[in-house]
Structures are given as structure tokens and as C-alpha cells.
Amino acid sequence: MSAETITSSEYIRHHLTNLTFGRHADGHWGLAHSADEIKEMGFMAIHVDTMFWSLFLGTLFVVLFSRAAKNATAGVPSGMQNFVEWIVDFINDSVRGSFSGKNDLVAPLALTIFVWIFLMNLMDLVPVDVIPSLAQMMGIHYMKVVATTDPNATFGMAIGIFILTLYYSLKIKGIGGFMGELTLQPFEAKNPLLKLLFIPINFLLEFVSLIAKPISLSLRLFGNMYAGEMIFILIAIMYSAGIGMGLFAGGLQFVWAVFHILIITLQAFIFMTLTIVYMDMAHNEH
């Protein structure tokens, strides 16, 4: 969408709006073509672009790594095999350093999270007008390509990790052990009456801490990626202010893109590391 034909606020709003599918006010189902229609669709609406790009990049990850594994040789590795082995070794070192239990799911989970989130974050380096402009040529009004700028995606991943954490907490410690962690710490007492008094206080503190894990996990990734995308959009607006400002914007965009490579990698690493830590906490008994 050209920034010369619309205002800056309209340009920003357009690039930050998801392609949404849901039920319209008249009862029929379809894509939304305005912010008002998106609001009418309510909670049950689906962000089609988030679903498409996250599934596409997840499939790309599976295909590339499967092909590298299938073509792996014992001799001199190819460039792709060497890259995949480096990633796998990096993940293994991270798991060994943060996970003290024994669970064959943790390493593959960490690998999937790191590569998948990195690929979704990497889409932030695609010029902001390229894919939305191509989508408009095909009659698609909205198209957000960075799935991690959608809180639905980050919360979905965080909730998945939260469910796994609860599952292994109950499996390893049992219902009694898990409830003991929520009610018998951090405040302890040998006096039975005092212990009963501390139970609701402990539960409140531990429950808040438990719920805060998926919330902080999702909001951290969403907030950093959303801010990075916003900066790219603001830089893109500068191209419409003349040749001099356009040249300055080009240099600024390059500098921010180079710096953003660190951000997208760091955010994928943090999400993966916290997942490993949470799984380790679920396997350790206090």
C-alpha cells in the first residue's frame, strides 16, 4: 500500500491489521475488509495470515531438517548438513546446561521452538511493503507476515508450554506433591495451626507465579517483535518525504535490520531457554 495516497496513521494501521476470517454481523462467514468488520467478528475470528505464515514456516523447518537428516553422510558434510548439526549441537548444549531431569521430549521441543520462532521472527526483515503489495494484487486487503507480532500466536505457544509443564509436574510429583509445592512454600511452620494459616497465602503467591510464566513468556516475545515491526513501518514512511529523506531512511533501515538480527535470534533463544527451565522445574521435586 502506497504511503503517498494515505495518511501515515492509516498506513501504520493497515500494516498492523491482520487478515481476519469470521462471522459478519449479517450472519455470513468471510474475510473482514475493515477494522469495523474485524471488531464485529469478536473472539471467534481467525487471523488467517498468522495461521498461514506460522504453518508455512513450521512446514519449511520440518522439510529442510528432514532432508538434511535423510541426506546426512559420515564423510565431509554438506553446507546444509553442517548447519543443521551446528544447530542441533547448540540445542543439546543448552538442554544439558539447563535441564537436569531425563525426558526425551525436551531436546526436540527446544529445537522446534528455537528454529520455528527464529523463522517467524526472520520474516520481520522482509521489506514491509513487499508481501502486502503482492497480496493486494491478488485481492487480499490485509497481510501481516510476522506471526510473532500477533499475541494470539505467542500466547498459543506459551499456553502449549504451560500445559506441558503442568502435565509433567503432575506426572513426576503426583497431585499431592504438586499441590504441596503450591501450598507449603515459601512460608513454612511446624505449628499445625500456623501451617494451615500459611496454606492460602502460599497458594496465592505460588498460583500468581505459576500463571505469570505463560503470560510473561508470550508478552516478552510479542512486545519485542511488535516494537521492531513498528520501527520498520515508521522508517518506511520516511521514503515518501523526498529523495534526501529516502536515502537517510535506507541507511537507517539497513542499520536497524542488522541490529534486529540480534533481536530476533535473542528472542527465539530466550523463549527456548525459559521453556527448558520450566520443564526442569516440572521434573524437580522440592
Q: Catalytic: 224? A: yes
What is the C-alpha to C-alpha distance for residues 40 and 47, in angstroms, rounded to an integer? 14
* From 216, 218, 240, 284, active-site residue: 216
Q: Are strands 29-31 and 20-23 parallel, antiparallel or unpaired?
A: antiparallel
Phi/psi of residue 30, each to 5°? 175, -175
**Geometric angle at alpha carbon 130, from 227 and 112, rounded to 5°:** 60
Other C-beta atoms within 10 Å of 83: how many?
Answer: 14
Q: Catalytic: 121? A: no
| Cis peptide leading into residue 186 (ω within 30°) | yes
* From 103, 220, 240, 284, active-site residue: 220
Sign, CA dihedral 26-32-36-39, equals positive
Other C-beta atoms within 10 Å of 117: how many?
Answer: 27
* From 121, 202, 218, 224, active-site residue: 224
What is the C-alpha to C-alpha distance for residues 76 and 74, in angstroms, rounded to an integer? 7
Q: Which residue has the cell 509443564?
A: 165
Fill in the DSSP letter of residue 78. Answer: P
What is the C-alpha to C-alpha distance for residues 12 and 38, in angstroms, rounded to an integer? 17
Q: Catalytic: 67? A: no
Q: Which residue has the cell 508470550?
A: 218
Q: Which of 138, 109, 161, 160 is nearest to 49 (CA)?
A: 138
**Geometric angle at alpha carbon 217, from 42 and 15, rounded to 5°:** 50
List, by residue number, the catalytic residues: 216, 220, 224
